[in-house]
Amino acid sequence: MSNLVTVLDYGVGNILSVARGFEAVGASVNVTTTVEGIENAQRLILPGVGAFAAGMTELKKNHLDSAIIKLAHSGVPLLGICLGMQFLMDSSEEFGETAGLGLIPGKVLPIPPNSHDGDSLIVPHIGWSGLELSGDKKNWDNSILVNTPVHSDVYFVHSFFSQPNNQDHQLAHCVYGGNSLSAVICKENVMGCQFHPEKSGLIGLNILRTFLSI
């Protein structure tokens, strides 16, 4: 199986760390800024840090957005990381409503400012939190988390989270202040991690390695 990974660089986010993470698990990484680069991808990574609307503006500027959607519909594995995962949804409520790529039905919502017992919560959620089985899932077989033990701690930095309409599209969540926040979403070949696998130690690298085998 090919070990090629294309990382999209649209000026937002820590491209180098994502590329190094994939290289550490044996990938051959190609960083692209163009529609052509996306069209040629055998696997595409959509990284991202920062504000949703600003990021979508960058993606739209050079029609990268329609190239990503086309690629995803052709069945090529696509992984969104952090803000890149939030782009997969229909829309975000960050600073007014902004349309996303619409690859996984659902919305991006702010982390509730209160914990479930009413205490105020520090937002952004920064730090290591455990991955938990979502919905009625018994395990993570046949998914990007197949090699990840339940409760594994991974590194999150976010103020917003993705809420898929269909519970089946949420593989894992973390619990922050008693609130469940989606951590890994998946719809066929389209996947997203809210946390940073490239900053989550060996557990995170293992998730990148699993993505390479998809």
Per-residue contact track with another protein, 189 to 208, x per CB under 8 A? -------x-xxxxxxxx---
Strands (E), the chain: 4-8, 28-32, 44-46, 78-81, 91-92, 98-99, 106-110, 125-130, 132-133, 153-158, 160-164, 170-176, 179-187, 190-193
Q: Near another protein by CB under 8 A, which window of 59-67, 72-80, 89-97, 122-130?
A: 122-130
Least distance in angstroms from the C-beta of 166 to another protein: 29
Among 96, 110, 86, 103, residue whose Cα is nearest residue 162? 86
Let me know if 132 is a catalytic residue.
no
Closest CB to another protein among residues 155, 163:
155
| Chosen residue from 110, 113, 124, 135 binding another protein by CB under 8 A | 124
47 binds another protein, rule: CB under 8 A: no
198 classed as catalytic: yes
User: In terms of DSSP bridges, do strands 28-32 and 4-8 run parallel, antiparallel, or are they unpaired?
Assistant: parallel
Is 196 considered catalytic here? Answer: yes
Nearest to 206 by CA among 141, 142, 149, 140: 149
Q: Which residues bind another protein (CB under 8 A)?
A: 14-17, 20-21, 23-24, 49-51, 120, 122, 124, 126-129, 149, 151-153, 155, 157, 159, 176, 196, 198-205
Residues with catalytic annotation? 82, 196, 198
